[in-house]
Copies of this chain bind each other. A is one copy, B any other.
């Protein structure tokens, strides 16, 4: 989707991916197939382009460092990526900047988990996403199984207070190289099994809460020196606090709705930011929008069933990513609908999404 946005401006795009048949390949004549954790391949890529950007935050920062060291432009910077990759360091950075986060602590030993108190969540400091690398601790009885599950002897862990939030919120912020920022509306994200299922834009929250969430999200992106589009996830707590759950240093699933719903999408603004161009407006062009993810039902082909039925739903914007294989819970596409109300948009998007199935018979 970033490549599509860049194509609108006549940009040439080069993509480095580990395997052939990656989703963006149908968009791109310039595919490099190689290991993006290998400095050699990163330098190959960088030598072909004006600017390098990332669509995942798990790239080895030692390898990435070679890009700026050899005079190549990289956004986000290695410092930003390194900071975000370590979730404890990310949280400490936010806390240090006065940004509210859940109470958390390093957990180098099982004893540290016990000392922190319950309920809590033990998390791997690195490489965890969509609930992978997390374990809930209700009492001391959960500590040993959690330590084993997360392989605490191999992985650095930390622990965080269990947040009984009333709503999960997210904000996309695009920040330019000059520090100017485009702040998208605060949205509600509805997760199941730690995976985003539905995004409702804007979130049904009072204007002052939305303003506070936006301010926190912007300060979070500033705190990590972010340039480009970022997804900031927040918990809305029963006592009125807003806590930053985490930040994604890239375009984010909670911002896919911006393609149809906003003047300038998170993808177009990411391209503008990394190329040093003025940012476009993040304003919605409709009172409400809703995005429903299309998740793989089980392992199988990445070609969906029911696409034609989904197309018959008026107003449904259907996106299929072209991934070759479906897996249970894998993000295979999404549907966005606009509306005068969230209910209208949600009903439309869900109706179309219900028609489509990946990796299984209907």
> A residues touching B (Cβ–Cβ < 8 Å)?
4, 7-13, 23, 25-31, 263, 272, 276-278, 280-281, 285-286, 302-304, 307-308, 311-312, 314-315, 318-323, 333, 338
Looking at chain A's contact residues, is the secondary structure mostly helix, strand, loop, or mixed? Answer: loop
Chain B residues closer than 8 Å to A320, beta-carbon distance: 8-10
Contact B285 A338 (CB under 8 A): yes
Contact B27 A7 (CB under 8 A): yes
Chain B residues closer than 8 Å to A333, beta-carbon distance: 10
Cα of A307 to Cα of B280 in the assembled complex, Å:
13
Contact A26 B13 (CB under 8 A): yes
Least distance between A142 CB and chain B CB atoms (Å): 41
Contact A26 B4 (CB under 8 A): no
Chain B residues closer than 8 Å to A276, beta-carbon distance: 308
Chain B residues closer than 8 Å to A322, beta-carbon distance: 7, 10-12
Contact A9 B312 (CB under 8 A): no
Contact A318 B9 (CB under 8 A): yes
Chain B's closest residue to A313 (CB) is: B278
Least distance between A112 CB and chain B CB atoms (Å): 46
Q: When A and B form their complex, which 4 residue pairs have the shortest distance between CB atoms, in order from nearest? A: A10-B320, A10-B322, A278-B312, A277-B311
- Give 21 A-B contacts (CB < 8 Å), ordered by A residue: A4-B4, A7-B322, A8-B319, A8-B320, A9-B307, A9-B318, A9-B319, A10-B23, A10-B303, A10-B320, A10-B321, A10-B333, A12-B26, A26-B29, A26-B30, A29-B31, A263-B314, A277-B307, A278-B308, A280-B314, A285-B338
